[in-house]
C-alpha cells in the first residue's frame, strides 16, 4: 500500500528515497528537502550503518512505531528501551506544509521541560500509523489549545486518511512512507509488553539510500 500521492502527500519537493529492510518486510521512505538537517543526519547514519540491527522498540497501535535507540541492538528480552542516542540532537525544522499524516516519518525527542527548543533526537524516529479524525474532533483540538487552526488541506487529510494531528508543530516531520506501509501496519499489530516493546523483536536489518 502506497501512502504518497495526490490524496495524501505533504506539499514538498522530491527528496532522497531510503530503503528500510526489517525482519517483517521492507519500507521505502522519502526524506524531505524541506528539512535539510534531518535529511543529512539520517543519510549519514544510514551510510555509517548506524541503524543496522536496531529494534523497533516502541509500538502503539493506531499511533506509531518507533526505532533508533542504539541500546536496542544488544538489549536483553524485556529490557526497557528509548534512552539511547548518538550523543547529539538536531535542531527542530517545523514547516506548515509538513504535518503528521498517516505514513509520516518524524523525529522523536525529549519532552519540553528538559528540551524547550524541541530539538530532535539524533537517531530516534517514528512512523505514523494514526487514525482518522472527524471535523468535530479537529475543532476540539483547536478549542482546547492543542493545535493552531487547521488548514483546509490538513482537515481533508486528517478526516480521509488519518494521522496524529496532536503532534503537529511539536515534533519534526522529515519524510514519509512511499512504499510498504502494509509493513508498518503489520508491525503495529504485534504483541507488546507494558513498555510498548514488542514481545518478539522487530529488527531493522539494513537502511540504505536508493537511486531515484
In this predicted structure, the answer to whether residue 11 has a pLDDT above a threshold of 70 is no
* Alpha helix stretches (DSSP H) within the chain: 36-47, 135-143, 152-160, 181-187
Give the tens place of pLDDT for each residue, 30-47: 999 999 999 999 999 999
Between residues 16 and 152, the one the model is more confident about: 152
Average pLDDT in the 195-203 region? 98
The fold for domain 16-210 equals Cyclophilin (2.40.100)
Helices (H) and strands (E) in the chain, counts: 4, 10
pLDDT for the residue 131 = 97
Provide the whole-model pTM: 0.92
In angstroms, rounded to a whole number, what is the distance separating the alpha carbons of residues 186 and 207?
19
In this predicted structure, the answer to whether residue 9 has a pLDDT above a threshold of 70 is no
Supply the mean pLDDT for the chain.
93
Per-residue HEC secondary structure of 31-48 comes to ECCCCHHHHHHHHHHHHC
In angstroms, rounded to a whole number, what is the distance separating the alpha carbons of residues 96 and 49?
32
- The proportion of the chain whose per-residue pLDDT surpasses 90, expressed as a percent, equals 90
The dihedral through the CA atoms of 94, 36, 99, 114 has a sign that is negative
User: pLDDT confidence of 15, banded at 50, 70, 90?
Assistant: low
In angstroms, rounded to a whole number, what is the distance separating the alpha carbons of residues 202 and 68?
12
pLDDT for the residue 210 = 77
Burial of 49 from C-beta contacts in 10 A (0-12 / 13-18 / 19+): exposed
Between residues 78 and 7, the one the model is more confident about: 78
Between residues 16 and 187, the one the model is more confident about: 187
pLDDT for the residue 178 = 96
Domain ranges (residues) in the chain? 16-210
Paired residues of 31 in beta bridges: 16, 175
| Helices 135-143/152-160 angle, 10° precision | 130
| Best CA proximity match to 8, nearest among 168, 193, 176, 189 | 176
Query: Cell 503532534 sits at which residue?
Result: 167
Give the tens place of pLDDT for each residue, 177-188: 999 999 999 999
User: pLDDT confidence of 3, banded at 50, 70, 90?
Assistant: very low
Give the tens place of pLDDT for each residue, 77-129: 999 999 999 999 999 999 989 999 999 999 999 999 999 999 999 999 999 99
Amino acid at each position: 500500500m502506497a501512502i504518497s500521492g495526490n490524496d495524501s502527500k505533504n506539499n514538498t519537493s522530491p527528496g532522497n528515497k531510503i530503503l528500510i529492510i526489517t525482519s517483517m518486510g521492507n519500507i521505502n521512505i522519502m526524506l524531505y528537502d524541506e528539512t535539510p538537517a534531518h535529511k543529512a543526519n539520517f543519510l549519514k547514519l544510514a551510510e555509517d550503518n548506524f541503524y543496522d540491527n536496531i529494534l523497533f522498540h516502541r509500538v502503539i497501535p493506531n499511533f506509531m512505531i518507533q526505532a533508533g535507540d542504539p541500546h536496542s541492538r544488544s538489549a536483553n528480552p524485556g529490557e526497557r528501551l528509548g534512552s539511547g542516542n548518538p550523543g547529539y540532537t538536531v535542531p527542530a525544522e517545523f514547516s506548515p506544509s509538513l504535518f503528521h499524516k498517516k505514513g509520516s516519518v518524524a523525529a522523536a525527542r525529549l519532552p519540553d521541560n528538559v528540551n524547550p527548543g524541541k530539538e530532535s533526537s539524533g537517531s530516534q524516529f517514528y512512523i505514523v500509523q494514526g487514525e482518522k479524525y472527524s471535523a468535530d474532533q479537529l475543532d476540539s483540538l483547536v478549542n482546547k489549545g492543542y493545535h493552531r487552526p487547521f488548514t483546509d488541506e490538513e482537515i481533508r487529510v486528517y478526516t480521509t486518511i488519518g494521522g496524529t494531528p496532536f503532534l503537529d508543530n511539536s515534533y519534526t516531520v522529515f519524510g514519509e512512507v512511499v512504499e510498504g506501509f502494509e509493513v508498518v501496519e503489520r508491525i503495529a499489530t504485534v504483541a507488546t509488553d507494558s513498555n510498548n516493546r514488542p514481545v518478539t523483536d522487530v529488527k531493522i536489518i539494513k537502511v540504505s539510500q536508493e537511486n531515484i
